[in-house]
Amino acid sequence: MSFTDWSVSSRGSVNFVGLDNYTLILSGKGTTSVRFLNSVKNLVIYVPLTLSIGLSLSLALALITRQLSRKLFSVFRGIYFVPYVLPLFLCAGIWQWFMTTGTGLVASALANIGIGRGITWDSTKYYAIIYVMMVDIWNSAGFNFVIISAGMADISPDLYEAAEIDGASTFQKMTKITIPLLEPILFFVITYGFISALQVYDIPWIISNGSDINSVGGPGQVMSFPVMEMVRNIYLGGKSGLGRACAEGVSLMTVILAVTAIQFKARRKKV
Amino acid sequence: MKTKKKREQWILIMLAAVWGLVCLFPLWVLFSGTFSLDTNNLTRTFFPNSLTNGIAKCKEALVTVEIAASTVHTLIYTSVTVAGILVISSLAAYEFTFYHFPLKRLLFGLLMASMMLPQVLYIIPLYRLVFAMKLADTFAGISFPMMVSALSVFVMMQFLEDLPLSFIESARIDGAGHFQIYGRIVLPLMRNGILTTVVLMFMKIWGQYLWPALVTGQKIKPISVTISNMLNPNFWIDPRTKIAAMLIAMIPPMTIYLTFQRYVIEGITMSGVKG
Amino acid sequence: MKKGLCFLLTAALMAASLAGCGSQSDSSANSQAEAKESAGSGGSSGGGAQAEAGNTTEDGKYDLVFWVYSDAVLNDQGKLFNRWVEEYCEENPDVNSITLIGKNDADLLTSLMAGVGLPDMFFASARNMRQYKEAIDLLDLTPVYQSEEGYQDGFYDSAIAAISQDAGMWAIPFMSYVPIIFRNTDVLEKAGIDWENEPLTSWDVFFEQCEKVKAAGIDATHSWSQGGYYCPGAVLASDAPNLAVGLENGETTLKAEQLLRTFETLQKLETYSNGMSYSDAPASEAFKAGELAFIAAGPWNEPDYIQAGTHYDVQLIPPYEENGWTGGLQGWDFMYGVNTGDEGRNEAIRGWLKKMGSFEVQQEFAKVIGRSVLREDAMDDPDTQQTEMLAILADGLKCGMNQMNFGHSSVFWTSAIGDVAPAVANGSITPEEGAQQLIDGINGLYAEAGEE
């Protein structure tokens, strides 16, 4: 499909156009390409930040709650999972209230400590990415937390007892036993988190008013991500819309595949 | 020593509670928003002040917005899909973990790749196929394509990896067939993996929008479609009714999670002792 | 053998997920295999009933399917449409039923792309008419317009021009809107504005009132440059008589100097802004709570303010000179028919659409729902203009500007202003630079769509 001029409006007649779609989207010339490359730039900032902050948060929470009694642990686990169960548009909706300039709870709190004073979060470069990141981390921390803490439960208590006899502190137990033994689970969480972060779509779509296809990604694509650009191409129904969207999709997938393959290789070496 | 330990515990509880508050606060805001008077500024209502208004809004959501009917429909196709996922994924996970077969690595790579392809790109050919099979707007038509879930295979494989290969080998020496091994040994030991998958997949399928929106029409009403229709910006539905509808829509997945959570914990502790 | 089965399962599993990647016929084959597999192993629900909407005929009668905006099946609109359906089924012995299904524009486009499972009629944005016409076999409605003397004359001429092309007429113009300004009259009173005698007759008057509200310590208005094209486009439309809108050799005929006044107005508006965008829930909540004096919105927002008990009045987007050209981008919605290949069925579709385009239906829609329609005779009828809102909309629709060249182009060119406006408003670029960027942006959209 990525090699054709297929579009919403091409009834029946689809032509093979070779690499045209690829050269077009990567050329940096024309609206489609500029938008796509902007969205890729955003992605490059977004993915590593979201992954590292999000995962450290979930891991920290898991380490903390695991020290508590089982009852407390399950109470907290129930609570942490709430954002993940909330429908995404609901999450995005509430955060829009919180992040409104001037009156929004979170935005004004941040302004008070000198972050983003007087700016409009959803239309300012970089701030828009951080905005999406906050919502996403808030939403997905519970998911990662559940998986990580389930993995922790598999670690035999004997190990901890032995460590305690040896006089290890809580902190030592965490770093010397928990984290190394969690490696397979962490690997899964990282891989999965990476893949889903690359496909970030719903949250920025809603925040940047995606119900209107023409405002996707906000002014100057400050909140645009590749999957959003694909959808835009498809729905705008312009020439080769579907073909271009597929070319964008395939380019994105190639990158993901490459990085994932490296991750797997690295893991095999380590093990 | 003891007091130090106690203090440590308290600090940990405080830390955990902070994030708990962050998680719950928005939910509380929605709740108090629903149960407040229409004259309040909705975005800054932090305490409920009208029970009657809230109940009226919930009623309106259930009846007028058809949340009740949508919930039933969604429950049906979600359960069917999750059941399908369990069968397919557990078999696939079993296969990938314990057997060597030609092109295994390539196939596994493809499986991973399938997770990475945005749904928007393949949804149209898929719809044509389902339509051609005359499954459009049926529960089967919604469910089958969603039963393919690379994520659940992956989750189950993580749980299977801890399973000693020697179990399988000894069973094989005893002359057990593949499906016997799978049914008698692997499945019971995979209980945690299965429960985790059920919880995760239920949430995921419950919230699916793109595919159910495309494949349904007049007979089946997925809850995500009902709600997003309600959110359409160019017409007006009372904002408190919208929130009420979304809160109600949240109850089933939340219930599933909270019920299964107990089993998941039990299962995990059991295997923890064993393994 | 069992091992083989497992192998097949996993292979099918992946092949299906990858369906979209390969060529089309390829993917179908693969996913077919998958679907069969899962049917075998999942063994879940039976299903398989014929689901194609409305293609079954009972006793030689037609069951029609009509896709509509989701609000058309709810509340007052739902009742209204249901009554029309009942009337039509009685009037027309060939039609057994008409089923209304709520779909939004995006759902509609996806279904159209798939090209299967189409309805008999659909009610959708005029902005996508060109895509619809290219993607599906639309029913030519020329016989509807010719069937009755004067039927066609009732519509706005521009609407008829939009639906007429390639020697056919492809839709029934139905609904329209123009952005309006709601004024919170409580706030105006606090600011010492005699609102009943001070309508927004020009941008200068608007700015004067903003100044007074600001002096009273209340937020005057939201940002007019955030939230997409809606507000900046509304301002742009106030200048419509001075804009050379058009397309030549793939480029817009607009000149940068024609756009300067718009961007200067946007900059000035920003000084009275509280930073929210017009569509944010916090903005309308602030308006309802008396914390905001002016909000640009659509007629669909009115019930919200009524329910909250807000005191308000409605104004058009002001002109630059008193009694001059008022602003606001007009949005239109059409009703389309699909060519089903069955002449009897097509007749039934045309009959229904003719009813939808009739004076009576459009007038009743306007009166009951409070939304403007695309029949000029219905809008100008004194009987219709009984509510303040409709009287104002009828005026507003005579000015303003269309969002785009409906029907003939697929490029929503005015949307490009949403990309430029925030930068001009916050001063990071000058109005001159903004004007040039807007022109470049518009040209980019035309190039992307391949229109010349």
HEC profile of chain B: CHHHHHHHHHHHHHHHHHHHHHHHHHHHHHHHHHCCCCCCCHHHCCCCCCHHHHHHHHHHHHHCCCHHHHHHHHHHHHHHHHHHHHHHHHHHHHHHHHCCCCCHHHHHHHHHHHHHCCHHHHHHHHHHHHHHCCCCCCHHHHHHHHCCCHHHHHHHHHHHHCCCHHHHHHHHHCCCCHHHHHHHHHHHHCHHHHHHHHHHHHHHHHHCCHHHHHHCCCCCCCHHHHHHHHHCCCCCCCHHHHHHHHHHHHHHHHHHHHHHHHHHHHHHHHHHHHC
Residue A9 within a domain: no
Return the SS3 of C66: strand
Chains with 3+ CB–CB pairs under 8 A to C are A, B
Same domain, B43 and B166: no
Among residues C125, A85, A99, A181, which one has the least CA distance to residue B248? A85
Among all chains, which residue has been given the structure tokens 């002096």? Answer: C215
Which residues on B lie below 8 Å from C48 (Cβ)?
133-135, 138, 140
CATH number of C352's domain: 3.40.190.10
Domain, as residue range, for B247: 66-274
Residue B89 within a domain: yes
Give the per-residue pLDDT at A7.
67
Put simply, the answer to whether C448 touches A101 (Cβ < 8 Å) is no
Mean pLDDT value across chain A:
81
Same domain, B183 and B225: yes
pLDDT tens digits, A101-135: 777 888 888 888 888 777 888 888 899 999 999 99
Same domain, B80 and B182: yes
Put simply, the answer to whether C10 touches B39 (Cβ < 8 Å) is no
Domain, as residue range, for C215: 180-328+406-449
CB-based contact C312:C305 (threshold 8 Å)? yes
Which residues on B lie below 8 Å from A142 (Cβ)?
23
Residue C213 has pLDDT above 50, yes or no: yes
Instruction: Pick the residue of A11, A90, A95 with the most B CBs within 10 A to test the interface with B by mutation.
Output: A90
Put simply, the answer to whether A97 touches B29 (Cβ < 8 Å) is yes
Residue A246 within a domain: yes
Give the per-residue pLDDT at B237.
74
Return the SS3 of C339: coil
> Any idea what DSSP says for residue C34?
H
Put simply, the answer to whether A209 touches C275 (Cβ < 8 Å) is no
CB-based contact A251:A22 (threshold 8 Å)? yes
CB-based contact C218:C272 (threshold 8 Å)? no
Same domain, C302 and C444: yes
User: For the residues A156-183, what does the mean pLDDT come to?
Assistant: 79
Same domain, B165 and B267: yes
How far apart, in whole angstroms, are the C-alpha atoms of residue C359 and residue C379? 9
Which residues on A lie below 8 Å from C112 (Cβ)?
8
Give the per-residue pLDDT at B105.
78
Which residues on B lie below 8 Å from A155 (Cβ)?
272
Which residues on B lie below 8 Å from C308 (Cβ)?
38-39
**Which of C396, C422, C439 is the last residue in one of the domains?**
C396
Cβ–Cβ contact C7 with B under 8 A: yes
Cβ–Cβ contact C23 with A under 8 A: yes
Q: How much of chain B, in percent, has pLDDT values that exceed 70?
A: 91
Query: Residue C5 CB: number of other CB atoms within 10 A?
Result: 16
Give the per-residue pLDDT at C356.
95
Q: State the nearest Cα–Cα gap between A80 and chain C, in angstroms.
A: 27
Burial B153-178 (b: 16+ CB within 10 A, else e): bbbbbbbbeebeeeebeebeeeebeb
Residue A28 within a domain: yes
**Which of C374, C396, C418 is the last residue in one of the domains?**
C396
**How many structural domains are present in chain A?**
1
Residue B195 within a domain: yes
Put simply, the answer to whether B178 touches C17 (Cβ < 8 Å) is no
Distances (CA, A) of B15 to A57, B21, B28: 11, 10, 20
Q: Could you tell me the pLDDT band of residue C339, with boundaries at 50, 70 and 90?
A: very high
Residue B255 within a domain: yes
Q: State the nearest Cα–Cα gap between B110 and chain C, in angstroms.
A: 6
266-285 in chain C: CB under 8 A from chain B: 279, 281-282, 285
Among residues C362, C367, C381, which one has the least CA distance to residue C173? C362
How far apart, in whole angstroms, are the C-alpha atoms of residue C275 and residue C404? 28
417-446 in chain C: CB under 8 A from chain B: none
Same domain, B200 and B268: yes
Q: Could you tell me the pLDDT band of residue B10, with boundaries at 50, 70 and 90?
A: confident
Domain, as residue range, for A184: 20-270
Q: State the nearest Cα–Cα gap between C433 and chain B, in angstroms.
A: 32
Q: State the nearest Cα–Cα gap between C190 and chain A, in angstroms.
A: 21
Select from C21, C131, C137 the Cβ nearest to the Cβ of A8: C131
Give the per-residue pLDDT at C6.
43
With CA atoms as reference, the chain C residue closest to B213 would be: C107
Mean pLDDT value across chain B:
79
CATH number of A64's domain: 1.10.3720.10
Cβ–Cβ contact B170 with C under 8 A: no
Among all chains, which residue has been given the structure tokens 């009732």? Answer: C154
How far apart, in whole angstroms, are the C-alpha atoms of residue C428 and residue A219? 13
Give the per-residue pLDDT at B270.
46
Put simply, the answer to whether A214 touches C228 (Cβ < 8 Å) is yes
Among all chains, which residue has been given the structure tokens 């944010």? Answer: C280
Residue B61 within a domain: no
Taking the model in full, what pTM does it have?
0.82
How far apart, in whole angstroms, are the C-alpha atoms of residue C10 and residue C8? 6
> Any idea what DSSP says for residue C375?
B
Half-sphere exposure of B29 (CA within 13 A, CB side): 21
How far apart, in whole angstroms, are the C-alpha atoms of residue A213 and residue A205? 9
Same domain, B91 and B34: no
Backbone angle region of C312, left / alpha / beta, with phi > 0 → left and psi within -120 to 50 → alpha: beta
Cβ–Cβ contact A192 with B under 8 A: yes
Q: Could you tell me the pLDDT band of residue A189, with boundaries at 50, 70 and 90?
A: confident
Q: State the nearest Cα–Cα gap between A104 and chain B, in angstroms.
A: 8
Cβ–Cβ contact B33 with C under 8 A: no
- C219 bridge partner residues: C292
Same domain, C389 and C419: no
Residues with Cβ within 8 Å of A195's Cβ and at least 6 positions away in sequence, in order, are A256, A260, B115, B116
Same domain, B249 and B182: yes
23-52 in chain A: CB under 8 A from chain B: none
How far apart, in whole angstroms, are the C-alpha atoms of residue C426 and residue A118? 11
Same domain, C445 and C296: yes
Which residues on C lie below 8 Å from B225 (Cβ)?
107
Tell me, rounded to whole angstroms, the distance of Cα C94 from its chain centroid: 32
Task: Return the top range by mean pLDDT from A61-70, C183-192, C382-391.
Answer: C183-192
Return the SS3 of A180: helix
How far apart, in whole angstroms, are the C-alpha atoms of residue B85 and residue C17? 13
Which residues on C lie below 8 Å from B39 (Cβ)?
288-289, 308-309
Among residues A57, A60, A44, A217, which one has the least CA distance to residue A137? A57
196-235 in chain C: CB under 8 A from chain A: 223, 226-229
Q: What is the token pair recorded at C36?
A: 């069969």
Backbone phi and psi for residue B101, each to the nearest 5 degrees, phi listed first: -145, 165
Same domain, C185 and C278: yes
Put simply, the answer to whether C304 touches B238 (Cβ < 8 Å) is yes
Give the per-residue pLDDT at C440.
92
Give the per-residue pLDDT at C42.
30
Among residues C84, C106, C104, C86, which one has the least CA distance to residue C96? C86
How far apart, in whole angstroms, are the C-alpha atoms of residue C256 and residue C264? 13
How far apart, in whole angstroms, are the C-alpha atoms of residue B83 and residue B198? 8
Instruction: Pick the residue of C1, C17, C36, C112 with the most B CBs within 10 A to test the interface with B by mutation.
Output: C17
Among all chains, which residue has been given the structure tokens 């439309």? Answer: C237
How far apart, in whole angstroms, are the C-alpha atoms of residue C179 and residue C288? 18
Same domain, C295 and C428: yes
Residues with Cβ within 8 Å of B106's Cβ and at least 6 positions away in sequence, in order, are none
Give the per-residue pLDDT at C326.
94
How does strand C219-223 pair with strand C273-277?
parallel
